Amino acid sequence: MTVQTYTFRIQRNMPGQVGAVQSHWQDYQVEAEPNTTILTLLETIKGGQDGSLTFRQSCRSAICGSCAITISGRTRLACKTHVGAVAKDGLVEIAPQKNQPILKDLAIDIRPFFAKVHAIKPYLQDGPESAGKVTSTAYDQVNHVTQCIMCACCYSECTMTEVNPRYTGPAALAKAFRFVSDPREGRKTERLQELSKQDGMWSCARCTLCVDVCPKEVAPMEAIIKLRTRGMGKGFTDAAGPRHALAFHEDINQTGQLNEFTLMMRTLGIFGALKETGMALHLAKKGKIPSPFPHYVDGVEELRRIYQSLERTPVDVETKAKEAVPE
């Protein structure tokens, strides 16, 4: 491999008055082979050029979760990201994680993230639903979520957290799934009820970014979808999220096409829908209000047969962790 020069353009953040942060970008030049990790090079800069450059790190082997930062636009673990894989024309842009307050330079305040993890009761509870004996395959479900190292890459990239800071977020929900799927957990139903509430598992917009950025193949969104399925299975359907899902199910099964005209009312209820009148008028003005009358698509009979078959023999949506691939 050949050594080349890279420019690290690093966002420097200094705490200012009452929570405000003053930011500027600073360039550093480093010599490295393409397979050198970003963390190694940050250490090189700190040790040899500028000791004031601040970032968190510890294990260097992608297991402690300290060094997640934004590298070339994506939140990644600095210790497992090769400079050659992320540099564009020799330039690497580095910034702190998103969706969280900044303490200094690349170090963010981790407390809001962990407060949400604490809120889902991240511990096994005794209760009526605890199973006795554990089988050899009992943890196949638990395993992919226990790979989570709480690095917050997913939380940093989460598009829903960006617009709704109260949303529980992918890491905490994946952790919740870890307990819901553990045969030893005694209060699975109680958990599902709690997670069905506002800002919980139904707030995810399924953008899949959390799955893409997770460095440990946890696939938080898959865990969220499984939580939803199990929540509905337990009868927790009286909320906007599950009603929305049921309306989809009903329409596709009946006509093969979504009835968007009635969808909002079925999701939000009459009063909820009335609150959106302004939006409806706005849409009407632009000619975007769909027809209220159901339209049956061609081959709807076949669609219904697919539904019936799936209801008799459900597809196993449970997946194991994906195989790791190099970056």
Partner 1 sequence: MKSHDLIIVGAGLSGMRAALEGAKAGINVAVVTKVHPLRSHSCAAQGGINAAINPNDKWEVHAYDTVKGSDYIGDEDAIDLMCREAPIIIHEMDRMGTPFSRNDDGDIAQRPFGGASFDRTCYAADRTGQVLLHTLWERLVHSGIHVYEECHVFRLVLASDGHVAGLVVYDIKTGEIFGIRGKGILLATGGYGRVYLSSTNATTNTGDGMAYALRAGSPLGDMEFVQFHPTGLRTSGILVTEGARGEGGYLINAEGERFMGRYAPKKWELASRDVVSRAEQTEILEGRGTNGAIFLDLRHLGREKILDRLPQIRTLALDLEGVDPIDAPIPVRPTVHYSMGGIRTNKYGACPVPGLFAAGEAACVSVHGANRLGGNSLLDTIVFGKITGAHACEYVHGQKLRDFPENTISEEKERVRELKNRPNRGMRPAMLHHQMAEAMNTYCGVYREPKGMATLAGKFPEWRQEYERIHLDDKSDIFNVDLLRAVELRNLLDLGECIIKGALAREESRGAHYRIDFPNRDDANWRKHTLAFWDETSQTVRLEKEEIRTVGNPEYAPKERTY
Task: Using CB under 8 A, list all residues that contact partner 1.
Answer: 14-15, 35, 37, 40, 43, 46-48, 50-52, 54-66, 80, 82, 103-105, 107, 109-110, 114, 118, 121-124, 133-136, 138-139, 142-143, 146-147, 149-150, 182, 184, 321, 323-324, 326-327
Smallest gap from Cβ 155 to partner 1, in A, equals 14
Q: Closest distance between partner 1 and the C-beta of residue 211, in Å?
A: 17
- Distance CA(85)–CA(136), nearest Å, equals 39
> In whole angstroms, how close is the CB of 272 to partner 1 at the nearest point?
35
Distance of alpha carbon 293 from alpha carbon 301, whole angstroms: 19
Q: Which is nearer to partner 1, 162 or 327 (CB)?
A: 327
Residue with Cβ nearer partner 1 (149 or 247) = 149
Place of tokens 């194991």: 320
Dihedral sign for Cα atoms in the order 268, 273, 274, 277: positive
Nearer to partner 1, 56 or 228 (CB): 56
Q: Closest approach of Cβ 79 to partner 1, in Å? A: 9
**Residue closest to 199 by CA, chosen among 172, 175, 234:** 172
Q: Return the number of the residue (111 or 249) whose C-beta is nearest partner 1.
A: 111
* Closer of 117 and 192 to partner 1 (Cβ): 117
Residue 187 tokens, joined = 């209060």
- State the SS3 of 251-293: HHHHCCCCCHHHHHHHHHHHHHHHHCHHHHHHHHHCCCCCCCC
Q: Of the two residues 4 and 262, which places its CB atom closer to partner 1 in the complex?
A: 4
Least Å distance, CB 34 to partner 1, is 10
Across the strands, what pairs with 5? 31
Provide the minimum distance between the beta carbon of 83 and partner 1 in the complex, in angstroms, as a whole number. Answer: 13
DSSP letter assigned to residue 222: H
Overall residue count recorded for the chain in this entry:
327
8 A C-beta contact, residue 211 and residue 221? yes
For residue 37, give every residue at least 6 positions away whose Cβ sits within 8 Å of its Cβ, in sequence order, or none: 60, 78, 79, 80, 81, 82, 83
Residue number, 10 or 142, with CB nearest to partner 1: 142
Closest distance of CB 27 from partner 1, Å: 17
Instruction: Please list, in sequence order, all residues whose beta carbon lies within 8 angstroms of the beta carbon of residue 94, skipping any fewer than 6 positions away.
Output: 8, 9, 10, 11, 38, 42, 69, 70, 71, 106
**Which residue lies nearer to partner 1 by CB, 46 or 197?**
46
Q: How far is the CB of 68 from partner 1 (least distance, A)?
A: 11
Residue 27 burial (CB < 10 Å; 0-12/13-18/19+)?
A: exposed
